[in-house]
């Protein structure tokens, strides 16, 4: 699992370990903390923690990846599948630093594919994003809706999807599932694992979390003139534990067919930024300060998943609602006001 110390990786690691998988996690900690690995072990408990190996490496380093895939981790057995989370993910930053985004997101994926091919590993679950769609013609968005990415980050995801689809045509023994996440939020209900990005958060929920503990003064709401009922952007927020379970469902269905298949992971329900602020304020028990500012370049009005394909083919659907997402996110932030590394406010 690449990006295992990250927000979605750490929760998926817990889910897979708990379900009996052995996981070799890799990360370079460019957007995460080594403490996340300790927390994964703490959440799953001592009986299972030994099934997690961890190696610090940069996924762009093909030789290091090859060594790892060749070695098979603890016990030296073959690697069954790779879950590839590692990427840069901030839309605004991608506009300012496109080359770094293409390098980390596209180049690393190519190095990973080469290393996997060299060592006979041909099952891959890839982290894609609903942002590949850009401005959708109609909602909710099914997988086959046209891809029209509006920023470099989304383009890196769309390029990777096309690379993987082309690979599966050329080499039909690959089994690749791309999961297009909608807006992952929330945290593990233990309060031990959650979203703890380095620097100022780029997404609304971790930003709000840090406002709630006083690390940031107020939330900026980007745009109130979108064609939505309250004028703020609408997103399909999904609990990160539901998302983690979606990866396990994909893992269990990788062998249903060869080739490339893409699935939306979302709830099918849209929530506006102001509705999210209200729900999170409710979880915290007091109103949180926000200010409406101008639109942010690259943002779109509304993204809501049509999650039916994942339900029909993977037997997966979300179980947790907005109140659960807010409660669990708050529990994590309340217990870890300075994040994993105890960063002062
Ligand atoms: N969180 C979201 O809103 C969202 C939405 C759609 C898709 N995704 C995708 O899901 C994946 C995981 O996202 P996340 O929210 O957990 O992000 P994250 O930043 O918390 O996790 C990514 C992890 O990858 C690591 N990483 C980055 N570059 C690396 C490299 N070169 N080598 C090794 N490790 C590296 C980071 O240190 C981090 O731990 C990403 O591919 C992201 O693009 C995220």
Residue 135 pLDDT: 87
Sheet strand arrangement including 271-272: 271-272, 234-235, 302-303
| pLDDT tens digit sequence for 263-275 | 999 999 999 999 9
Query: How many angstroms separate the CA atoms of 222 and 244, rounded?
Result: 29
For ligand 1, is residue 58 a contact (CB within 6 Å)? yes
Q: Supply the angle between the helices 108-118 and 62-71 in degrees, to the nearest 10.
A: 40
| pLDDT tens digit sequence for 219-266 | 999 999 999 999 999 999 999 999 999 999 999 999 999 999 999 999
Q: How far is CA 46 from CA 17, 52, 62, 72, 75, in A?
A: 11, 11, 32, 22, 18
In a domain, 118, yes or no: yes
Among protein residues, the one whose CA lies closest to atom 26 of ligand 1: 86
So which residues are the catalytic ones? 153
Total structural domains in the chain?
1
In a domain, 227, yes or no: yes
How wide is the angle at C-alpha 95 spanned by C-alphas 89 and 99, nearest 5°? 80
For ligand 1, is residue 243 a contact (CB within 6 Å)? no
Q: 299 pLDDT exceeds 80? A: yes
Minimum-distance ligand 1 atom for the alpha carbon of 29: 37
Q: 145 pLDDT exceeds 70? A: yes
Q: In terms of C-beta density within 10 A (0-12 exposed, 13-18 middle, 19 or more buried), how is residue 217 classed?
A: exposed
Report, as an integer, the average pLDDT of 8-33: 97
In a domain, 301, yes or no: yes
Minimum-distance ligand 1 atom for the alpha carbon of 9: 16
In a domain, 343, yes or no: no
For ligand 1, is residue 129 a contact (CB within 6 Å)? yes
Q: 51 pLDDT exceeds 90? A: yes
Domain span at residue 245 reads 7-335
In a domain, 345, yes or no: no
In a domain, 76, yes or no: yes
Residue 165 pLDDT: 98
Residue 73 pLDDT: 55
Report, as an integer, the average pLDDT of 84-112: 96
Q: Contact 284/248 with Cβ under 8 angstroms?
A: no
Ligand 1 centroid to Cα of residue 45, in Å, is 25
Ligand 1 centroid to Cα of residue 229, in Å, is 32
In a domain, 205, yes or no: yes
pTM of the model: 0.97
Among protein residues, the one whose CA lies closest to atom 7 of ligand 1: 129
pLDDT class for 75, splitting at 50, 70, 90?
Answer: low
Task: Please report, for the domain that includes residue 196, its CATH number.
Answer: 3.40.50.720
Which spans in the chain are helix H?
7-18, 35-44, 46-49, 62-71, 91-96, 98-101, 108-118, 152-170, 204-212, 240-253, 273-284, 308-309, 322-335
Minimum-distance ligand 1 atom for the alpha carbon of 196: 20
Residue 317 pLDDT: 98
Query: How many angstroms separate the CA atoms of 202 and 31, rounded?
Result: 12
Q: 59 pLDDT exceeds 60? A: yes
């Amino acid at each position: 699992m690449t990006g295992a110390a990250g927000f979605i990786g750490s929760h998926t690691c817990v889910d897979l370990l708990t379900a009996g998988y052995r996981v070799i996690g890799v990360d370079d900690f460019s957007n995460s903390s080594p403490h996340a690995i300790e927390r994964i072990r703490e959440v799953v408990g001592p009986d299972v923690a030994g099934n997690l190996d961890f190696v610090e490496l940069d996924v762009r380093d093909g030789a290091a990846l090859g060594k790892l895939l060749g070695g098979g981790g603890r016990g030296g057995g073959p690697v069954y599948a790779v879950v590839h989370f590692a990427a840069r993910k901030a839309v605004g930053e991608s506009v300012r630093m496109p080359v770094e985004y293409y390098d980390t997101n596209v180049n690393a994926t190519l190095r990973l594919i080469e290393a996997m091919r060299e060592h006979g590993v041909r099952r891959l679950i890839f982290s894609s994003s609903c942002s590949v769609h850009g401005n959708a013609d109609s909602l909710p968005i099914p997988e086959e809706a046209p891809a029209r990415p509006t920023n470099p980050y989304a383009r890196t995801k769309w390029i990777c999807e096309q690379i993987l689809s082309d690979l599966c045509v050329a080499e039909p023994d690959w089994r690749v599932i791309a999961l297009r996440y909608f807006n992952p939020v929330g945290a593990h209900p233990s309060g031990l694992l959650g979203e703890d990005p380095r620097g100022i958060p780029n997404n609304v929920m971790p930003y709000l979390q840090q406002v709630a503990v006083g690390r940031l003064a107020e939330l900026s709401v980007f745009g109130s003139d979108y064609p939505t009922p309250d004028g703020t952007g609408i997103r399909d927020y999904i609990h990160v534990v539901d998302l983690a379970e979606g990866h396990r469902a994909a893992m269990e269905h990788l062998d249903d067919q060869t080739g490339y298949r893409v699935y939306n992971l979302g709830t099918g329900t849209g929530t506006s930024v102001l509705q999210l602020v209200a729900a999170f304020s409710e979880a915290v028990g007091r109103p949180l300060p926000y200010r409406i500012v101008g639109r942010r370049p690259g943002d779109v009005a509304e993204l809501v998943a049509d999650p039916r394909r994942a339900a029909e083919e993977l037997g997966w659907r979300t179980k947790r609602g907005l109140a659960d997402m807010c409660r669990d996110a708050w529990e994590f932030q309340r217990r870890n006001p300075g994040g994993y590394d105890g960063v002062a406010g």
